[in-house]
Amino acid sequence: MKYKLAVLENLINYKFDSKEIFKRSLTHKSFHEDINNEKLEFLGDRVLGLIISKNLLAKYPNEKEGIIDKKFANLVNKKRCAEISNKINLVKYMFLGNNYKKKDQKYDKISGDCLEALIGAIFTDGGLKNAEKFILRYWEDSLKYSDNTFIDSKTKLQEYSLKKFKKLPTYVLIKTSGPDHKPLFNVTAKIVDSKKISATGKSKKEAQQNAARKLLEFLKI
């Protein structure tokens, strides 16, 4: 165990004074019901949000709050944490229960949560400065290219509708087809004075995005 922890310390370039906190950050609740990383994950999520917010405000001092909020959402989310965790191969160092050791097990959620717990542990052990150093090391490229903020179709349609009509778009589920294990959702999207545009998706959210995209194309927005 000591060797495993030492290898990870070298990999992340941070030496813990408290090995107990370090080990806890890597301990999933499936391994130990009471002594696990859930509280450190909660803390790490807040520390991550603080550091990214601080750096975005410094990078874009004249940008509107709404745009910075979109950049933040693109940088701080479960998918991004899972991607960074996978680069570190953090799951290799985690303490997991037997039910999480299946060969085909998908680890994205628990590895992303573990990354946040690790951030919480570094903050607890070494303070904000060390936590920020760790975060910026792994979020550096993402922050560098945060100028290119992707705005999804639903958000774009909503902003247009609110600006022009002061009303939100409406989405209506028309029908669900296909087998229970692989449903297909058909949804319509509409704004004031527009026709209803329908689209399908593997989830309601995906169908709404597709309908919004098609409506934007129809409106030539």
Active site residues: 45, 116
Cα–Cα distance, 212 to 8 (Å, whole number)? 44
Cα–Cα distance, 156 to 70 (Å, whole number)? 12
Cα–Cα distance, 68 to 150 (Å, whole number)? 12
Q: What is the CA radius of gyration of the chain?
A: 22
Tokens of 80: 């991004």
**E-strand stretches of 89-196:** 170-177, 184-190
Q: Which positions ≥6 away from 165 have C-beta within 8 Å?
A: 191, 192, 193
Strand partners, 176: 185
